[in-house]
């Protein structure tokens, strides 16, 4: 069997279902606004508990995938719209994008080991959080050589290795995915999702009114970065998980010996990079956020700096008409570059399984 390509999608691109197979988070509907039928037909007063999680402090695996009694949530299908053309040459790998990224990295590594093509290796294409899951999987291998025995080529498309202010937005202000009347519920459930914390900015993204970086203790990956009522529901354990994962994401290709690697980044669209704090108060909305070039979610310069070398040497940057972050895998130039890369010979693994 030749090399087989696996697509690991981004945050919210996998629909979630309960133990009876009822969809409780419809990925197709996210950008249109989720309705009651997209949450398993449950009433709005149950939505926050339905999609909230619980984790024991030292466990990557969730203790409860829903806080609604008697409900278990698991990944269902990957939404096609952002990935239609990618899925023409790859198979999707659904996962619960709310959970600790290291947990999903471990699950991916198990899948790679148990289902390795008999006469080839895997090609991996990870979009957004999916790219972080690939890096986490490589970091969890038993030896420096193992990942290369499983994987021939790895492509990270718009992977927020240094984090993203979009995670900050969701944790600070919530989202309107459930409708304007349910922003508080959306924020409450989001504050139980480790993966969202783990994509908080690694750089000093909190600044004062003059644009100067605030003290390290006031940055959002620290408990003190969430003063007063802003900290209600913010979990110190999840902030600790963030700091642990960020260390894993330095030098993302360092555990990929014997793997041909490529990173795709957008460098065209304005992308938020800072938020202004005044004393103990954080802003009530997005208007104070400064911006730099990126893909609307991943800032280009910050990501290059965090990834370091040899990562930066493997980056293919698009500054032309490339699509915004959510649609990078539907962009013709990105798809063509990915297909050309996957068609190139890969180095042999450093050792045999």
Distances (CA, A) of 55 to 159, 163, 326: 25, 22, 28
Q: How far apart are CA 251 and CA 261, in angstroms?
A: 12
DSSP character for 299?
A: B
Q: For residue 102, is pLDDT > 60? A: yes
- For the chain, percent of residues with pLDDT exceeding 90: 86
**Spatial CA neighbour of 8 closest among 173, 150, 144, 122:** 122
Mean pLDDT of 123-138: 98
Residues 256-269 pLDDT 10s: 999 999 999 999 99
For position 353, what pLDDT does the model report?
46
Return the residue matching tokens 């790895």: 154
**Spatial CA neighbour of 264 closest among 88, 34, 86, 113:** 86
- DSSP codes of every residue in 241-278: HHHHHHHHHSSTTTT-TT-EEEEEEE-SEEEEEEEE-B
Bridge partner residues of 73 (DSSP): 18
Mean pLDDT of 147-170: 97
Q: For residue 189, is pLDDT > 50? A: yes
Distance of CA 201 to the CA centre of its chain: 12
- Coil, helix or strand for 87? helix
Mean pLDDT of 154-175: 96
- For the chain, percent of residues with pLDDT exceeding 70: 97
Instruction: Label residue 352 by pLDDT band (50, 70, 90).
Output: low
Q: How far apart are CA 345 and CA 152, in angstroms?
A: 9
Residue 338, C-beta contacts closer than 8 angstroms, at least 6 positions apart: 86, 125, 155, 157, 262, 264
Residues 292-339 pLDDT 10s: 999 999 999 999 999 998 999 999 999 888 889 999 999 999 999 999
129-139 vs 236-249: helix axis angle to the nearest 10?
A: 70
Domains and CATH numbers, the chain: 4-169+186-199+231-270+291-343 (3.40.50.1820)
Residues 38-79 pLDDT 10s: 788 889 999 999 999 999 998 999 999 999 999 999 999 999
* Structure tokens given for 336: 């063509």
Q: How far apart are CA 92 and CA 115, in angstroms?
A: 14
* Structure tokens given for 154: 């790895």
Q: How far apart are CA 198 and CA 195, in angstroms?
A: 5
Distance of CA 316 to the CA centre of its chain: 19
Average pLDDT, the chain: 94
Return the residue matching tokens 């032309």: 320
Angle at 164 between CA 299 and CA 16, to 5 degrees: 130
For position 351, what pLDDT does the model report?
61
* Helix intervals (H) in the chain: 47-51, 101-114, 129-139, 146-150, 165-173, 183-190, 194-197, 236-249, 300-307, 332-343
Angle at 129 between CA 259 and CA 351, to 5 degrees: 20
């Amino acid at each position: 069997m030749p090399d087989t390509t696996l697509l690991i999608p981004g945050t919210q691109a996998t629909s979630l279902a309960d133990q009876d197979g009822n969809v409780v988070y419809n990925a197709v509907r996210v950008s249109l606004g989720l309705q009651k039928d997209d949450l398993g037909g449950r009433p709005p007063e149950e939505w926050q508990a339905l999609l909230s999680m619980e984790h024991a402090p030292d466990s990557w695996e969730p203790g409860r995938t829903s806080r609604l009694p008697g409900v278990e949530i698991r990944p269902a299908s990957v939404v096609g719209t952002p990935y239609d053309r990618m899925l023409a040459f790859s198979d999707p790998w659904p996962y619960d994008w709310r959970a600790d990224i290291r947990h999903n990295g471990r699950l991916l590594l198990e899948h790679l080991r148990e289902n390795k093509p008999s006469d080839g290796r895997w090609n991996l294409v990870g979009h957004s959080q999916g790219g972080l899951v690939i890096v986490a999987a490589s970091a969890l291998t038993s030896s420096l050589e193992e990942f290369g025995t499983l994987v021939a080529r790895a492509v990270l498309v718009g992977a927020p290795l240094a984090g993203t202010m979009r995670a900050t937005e969701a944790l600070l202000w919530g989202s309107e995915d459930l409708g304007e009347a349910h922003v508080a519920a959306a924020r409450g459930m989001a504050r139980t999702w480790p993966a969202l914390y783990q994509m908080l900015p690694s750089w000093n993204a909190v600044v004062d009114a003059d644009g100067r970086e605030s003290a390290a203790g006031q940055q959002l990956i620290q408990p003190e970065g969430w003063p007063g009522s802003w900290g209600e529901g913010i979990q110190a354990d999840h902030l600790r998980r963030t700091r642990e994962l960020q260390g894993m994401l330095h030098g993302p290709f360092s555990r990929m010996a014997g793997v041909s690697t490529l990173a795709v980044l957008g460098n065209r669209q304005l992308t938020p990079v800072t938020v202004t704090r005044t004393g103990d108060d954080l802003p009530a909305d997005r208007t104070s956020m400064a911006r730099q070039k990126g893909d609307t979610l991943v800032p280009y310069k910050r990501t290059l700096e965090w990834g370091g070398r040899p990562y930066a040497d493997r980056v293919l940057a698009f500054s032309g008409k490339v699509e915004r972050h959510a649609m990078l895998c539907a962009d013709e130039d990105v798809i063509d570059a990915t297909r050309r890369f996957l068609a190139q010979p890969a180095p042999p693994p450093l050792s045999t399984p």
